[in-house]
């Protein structure tokens, strides 16, 4: 689905997806980006080591701790947080440009980052928390994905429980039981949020023209 032809100028929105590890957030994000051309991904900066297969500048911008601190001091981040021992942050520049041009930005960030954006840019934020259908399901996905020891999986499960405790801070909750349904639900959220009056910044002019040209 692409966005319908837009006759009224619109300000972009920030669509934040958070979830416990293993709930399927990354697959959902890929599907949304593929199927909606008005959506672009915010590429975070991180101090985490690049994993095999990850592409610099596409998955993350990989930097060392010193460079990350300089970016903090220069106020380059919209938000940043320490997650599982590494720093992650959202650079402001690309997001600001996209929003002003009426494009929407998709974020894969944790609850700490979402809280910071809610404090600084509430009007532009639409936050979605993705839940797994069951504990068993989450456990299966985590153990299949990581092929880790039982201890590592148990550790991830404990962290998942922590992350889930923040669900109340989000605007929408989507259970990822069937991915097609989860993706369709988030598209429905996007479609409605795009139509919010306050986001349609060209509305005054549009209505004025409608009323004067009769
Ligand atoms: N606050 C904040 N969190 C981020 C940012 N980028 C990524 N994260 C979060 O950091 C966590 C770890 O992400 P990754 O290092 O990519 O690891 P992963 O295997 O994808 O982890 P999960 O997505 O949790 O399964 C995830 O919860 C992300 O949502 C960011 O810019 N800011
Ligand atoms: Mg992920």
Do the Cβ atoms of 28 and 176 come closer than 8 Å? yes
Residue nearest to atom 31 of ligand 1 (CA): 89
pLDDT tens-digit profile of 88-143?
A: 999 999 999 999 999 999 999 999 999 999 999 999 999 999 999 999 999 888 88
**CA 166 vs CA 4, 5, 47: distances in Å:** 34, 36, 24
Closest by alpha carbon to 78, among 103, 57, 98, 49? 98
Q: Where are the alpha helices (DSSP H) in 36-178?
A: 65-73, 92-100, 111-120, 135-146, 150-164
Which one of the ligands is nearest to 114 CA? 1
Q: What is the spatial distance between Cα 23 and Cα 90, in angstroms, rounded to a whole number?
A: 22
Does residue 139 sit in helix, strand or coil? helix
pLDDT at residue 5, rounded to an integer? 64
Residue 213 pLDDT level (bands cut at 50, 70, 90): confident
Could you tell me which residues come within 8 angstroms of residue 16 by beta carbon, excluding any fewer than 6 positions away? 107, 109, 113, 114, 117, 125, 126, 127, 128
pLDDT at residue 148, rounded to an integer? 62
Instruction: Identify which of 42, 109, 130, 148 to mutate to test ligand 1's pocket (most ligand atoms within 8 A of the CB).
Output: 109
Residue nearest to atom 1 of ligand 1 (CA): 113
**CA 94 vs CA 41, 98, 100, 153: distances in Å:** 10, 6, 10, 35
From the CB of 36, is ligand 1 less than 6 Å away?
Answer: no
pLDDT tens-digit profile of 25-76?
A: 999 999 999 999 999 999 999 999 999 999 999 999 999 999 999 999 999 9
Which tops the pLDDT comparison, 52 or 152?
A: 52
Q: 26 exposed, middle or buried (CB, 10 Å; 0-12, 13-18, 19+)?
A: middle
Do the Cβ atoms of 87 and 80 come closer than 8 Å? yes
From the CB of 143, is ligand 1 less than 6 Å away?
Answer: no
pLDDT at residue 37, rounded to an integer? 93
- Chain centre distance of CA 179: 17
Hey, where are the domains in the chain?
A: 14-42+102-212
The 3-state secondary structure of 142-179 reads: HHHHHCCCHHHHHHHHHHHHHHHCCHHHCCEEEECCCH
Torsion of CA 166, 32, 15, 156, to 10 degrees: 20
pLDDT tens-digit profile of 185-194?
A: 999 999 999 9
Q: What is the spatial distance between Cα 134 and Cα 174, in angstroms, rounded to a whole number?
A: 13
Angle between helices 179-194 and 25-35 in degrees, nearest 10: 60
CATH number for 14-42+102-212 (one of 3.40.50.11740, 3.40.50.300, 3.40.50.20, 3.90.1150.110): it is 3.40.50.300
């Amino acid at each position: 689905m692409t966005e319908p032809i837009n006759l009224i100028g619109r300000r972009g929105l920030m669509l934040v997806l958070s979830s416990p590890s293993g709930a399927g957030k990354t697959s959902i994000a890929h599907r949304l980006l593929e199927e909606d051309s008005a959506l672009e991904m915010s590429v975070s900066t991180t101090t985490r080591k690049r994993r095999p297969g990850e592409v610099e500048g596409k998955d993350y911008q990989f930097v060392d701790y010193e460079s990350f601190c300089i970016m903090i001091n220069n106020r380059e981040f919209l938000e940043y947080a320490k997650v599982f021992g590494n720093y992650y942050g959202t650079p402001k520049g690309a997001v600001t440009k996209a929003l002003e041009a009426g494009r929407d930005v998709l974020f894969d960030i944790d609850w700490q980052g979402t809280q910071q954006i809610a404090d600084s840019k509430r009007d532009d934020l639409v936050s979605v928390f993705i839940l797994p259908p069951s504990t068993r399901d989450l456990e299966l996905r985590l153990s299949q994905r990581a092929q880790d020891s039982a201890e590592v999986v148990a550790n991830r499960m404990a962290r998942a429980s922590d992350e889930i405790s923040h669900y109340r801070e989000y605007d929408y909750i989507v259970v990822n039981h069937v991915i097609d349904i989860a993706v369709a639900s988030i598209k429905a959220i996007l479609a409605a949020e795009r139509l919010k009056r306050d986001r349609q910044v060209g509305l005054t002019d549009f209505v004025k023209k409608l009323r004067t040209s009769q």
